Structure 1
């Protein structure tokens, strides 16, 4: 499995700067959609290809991308900085990580689809954790719930993904509206975003790298799920 880790930076050419408000908008829900479309310009060789890359915005027009193909030159970006993603990992290796993820839990609804399958729903782990609180108390409890629910969710990912979570902190939890929604704001579809960092210990290297390539959580098209890693410095 060939993987490439790239850093893409928006070009400062006048022709691109003129489009900045469209391709790099300030409003977050619009930005997630605009950035996804923008990054496709570096992977647009096959119009019928499905998305085979994960990405993360670092702000100020900079993006990290993990892909199965090398990004091509794009008129919107400076020449991409690309390196093969081939970390030599062994059981017991400790890695620092950062992760921005839409963390969800799946539950059965009891409903059956037309094809005969049981319908399932994906619940945001943080909103699920505070669902029984009065609405007036949820905002205050949200970050504490995010820290607890986020850790449990990541531990579950590790059990299935060949790693153990030694430490994880949630720096932020936010709710982002799905782009292009039309209708009353109170009915606007939204998803939660956890920004996490910490230390993991590798248990099954091949499985761990496979999970990194797949990404973690949902809403991957909108810049979530890419875990960036580096070796933990000895203390």
Structure 2
């Protein structure tokens, strides 16, 4: 399987910079949606094209992508840096990784959708674990919420356990993992009140894995891990462990 790992950066030309407020708006939710559309512009080749790329923002207006096809060059970007990505992996190889992901589990809700499919909902695992920790409304007046200090600790436990389960079907064994950050983003398009707004959680994981089944691992690497792939999650960056 040959993929393409690319570094894309928004052009510094005045014509592109003039569009910066539209291409990279300040509002975080609108920004994710705009970035996704921006990257779609160099991968789509027709209205029927399904998304076949993963992406993550590295720095402001700078992105890494993993794709089945090389990105097209447009005036909105600096010249792309593209290289073929076809790692030759064997059982027992150890890889260091970085992964930005939305870790969820799926629950059946009963009934059928309008398309006749069984209804499901996707539960953010860290948010779900936090529900068991007393928040401000559950404590006496003036008491501090316990959720903020517990947040990263829970994210560590949840993130490691989730990634270990991913490895069982993706051809790797998790040797070590550290959650560098956990944050939440509002889903793009929400126009209602702040309270109760739909959100998704983002885990930034680093660590080391051992390959147990290369034939299973590479397709999963291309497909991405977790949900919210349209919003910059799911891309696992790997390099051989020293």
TM-score w.r.t. the length of structure 1 is 0.94
What is the Cα deviation at residue 10 of structure 1?
A: 0.9
What is the Cα deviation at residue 116 of structure 1?
A: 6.3
The aligned counterpart of 1:225 is: 234
Cα distance in 2 for partners of 1:118, 1:71 equals: 36
The aligned counterpart of 2:222 is: 213
The aligned counterpart of 1:67 is: 67
The aligned counterpart of 2:56 is: 56
Structure 1 position 191 matched with structure 2 position 200: yes
Cα deviation, 1:43-102, whole Å, max 9, x if unaligned, reads 132122111100010022111101111111111111111111100111111111000001
What is the Cα deviation at residue 120 of structure 1?
A: 2.3
What is the Cα deviation at residue 41 of structure 1?
A: 1.4
Cα distance in 2 for partners of 1:57, 1:123 equals: 24
Cα distance in 2 for partners of 1:88, 1:118 equals: 39
Structure 1 position 174 matched with structure 2 position 183: yes
3-state SS of the aligned residue for 2:178? strand
Structure 1 position 14 matched with structure 2 position 23: no
Choose which of 155, 158, 161 in structure 1 pairs with 2:164.
155
Q: How does 1:89-108 map to 2 (within 5 A)?
A: 89-108=89-108
TM-score w.r.t. the length of structure 2 is 0.92
User: How many residues end up aligned between the 2 structures?
Assistant: 232
Cα distance in 2 for partners of 1:168, 1:45 equals: 38
What is the Cα deviation at residue 8 of structure 1?
A: 0.5
Cα distance in 1 for partners of 2:63, 2:116 equals: 42
Cα distance in 2 for partners of 1:27, 1:169 equals: 29
